[in-house]
Amino acid sequence: TSAEQRRRGATVIAVANQKGGVAKTTSVASLGAAFAEHGKRVLLVDLDAQACLTFSLGVDPDEVETSINEVLLGKVDAAEARVACEDGVDLIPSMIELAGAEAQLLPRPGREYVLRTALEPLTGDYDVILIDCSPSLGVLTLNALTAAHGLVIPMPCEMLSHRGVGQLLDTVADVQRILNRDLEVLGILPTMYDGRSNHAQAVLADVGERYDLPVLSPPIPKTVRFAEAPAVGRSILTTARTSRGAKAYRDVAAALVKSL
């Protein structure tokens, strides 16, 4: 299949949802650490001007000299921007100026292909590249979807939280038609799941059918441990090794790792 043919290099997975606060960044950091535990060579790309992923991996966005910003503008190679993090993963950091880079990309030809092209020289160095998207469907997220083989859509199991998924899926269909035929939705990742809540159970049961998409398993439980992790620059997989949240991310990663 085409999926197997391209597996000579890294599998690129975008983690996107145009809503903020749905656990995109938490999922990228945690899945990345989990893939690294499997011995996979992992690169994380922070594509959000808020730089939360960068910060959560112990890199100060204000001190970053070479970021995804310069990579997208063609000023440096992606290899020069990456830094090694304590979680056993490499990171291409973000910084606040990324918002400006987005504006500078807009008038450029092939603007949706910039990230894909920039990452190409690195695909031999990694087994998996995870892209943390910003909460929008703008040109940066289009770049992520164009660079990706797979898309994971984190979605809290709360009322109305899946409004907007339809809009994201419309964008995905456009990307598949025009920019990247190979893009495959790997699934919805249910996050912040409170198993005691009937409503959360109902949302979880309904969402896959409603959008005709796979639902990744298990759901990630809601736990305060996630709030504590970024303060020390490590993901929950190290700060709370045996917590339910860490275990859930490990199990999701173990299922995904088979398709890398």
Residues that bind ligand ADP in the complex, under the rule CB under 6 A: 20-26, 52, 135, 191-192, 220, 222-223, 226-227, 245
- 48 or 90: CB nearest Mg ion: 48
C-alpha–C-alpha distance, residues 83 and 184, integer Å? 28
11 binds, among ligand ADP, Mg ion, none (CB under 5 to 8 A by kind): none
Instruction: Report, in angstroms and rounded to the nearest whole number, the Rg of the chain calculated over CA atoms.
Output: 17
* Residue of 52, 128, 129, 140 that binds Mg ion (CB under 5 A): 52
In 3D space, the residue among 73, 39, 69 whose CA is nearest the CA of residue 54 turns out to be 69
- 71 or 246: CB nearest ligand ADP: 246
- The SS3 call for residue 38 is coil
Write out the DSSP string of 59-70.
--TTT-SS-HHH
- 26 or 180: CB nearest ligand ADP: 26
Q: Least distance in Å: CB of 24 to Mg ion?
A: 5
- 111 or 150: CB nearest ligand ADP: 150
- From residue 151, give the alpha-carbon distance in Å to each of 98, 227, 241: 22, 25, 26
Q: Least distance in Å: CB of 70 to ligand ADP?
A: 23
- In the chain, the amino acid numbered 177 is R
Task: Return the residue nearest Mg ion (CB atom).
Answer: 25
- 26 or 69: CB nearest ligand ADP: 26
Q: Least distance in Å: CB of 27 to ligand ADP?
A: 7
Answer positive or negative: Cα dihedral of 68, 146, 208, 168: positive
CA atoms within 13 A on the CB side of 191: 27
C-alpha–C-alpha distance, residues 207 and 6, integer Å? 30
* Residue pair 29/56 in contact by the 8 Å Cβ criterion: yes
Q: Which stretch binds Mg ion (CB under 5 A): 46-54, 154-162, 181-189, 230-238?
A: 46-54
Q: Least distance in Å: CB of 63 to ligand ADP?
A: 21
For residue 24, state whether it binds Mg ion (rule: CB under 5 A): yes
Where does this chain bind Mg ion (CB under 5 A)? 24-25, 52
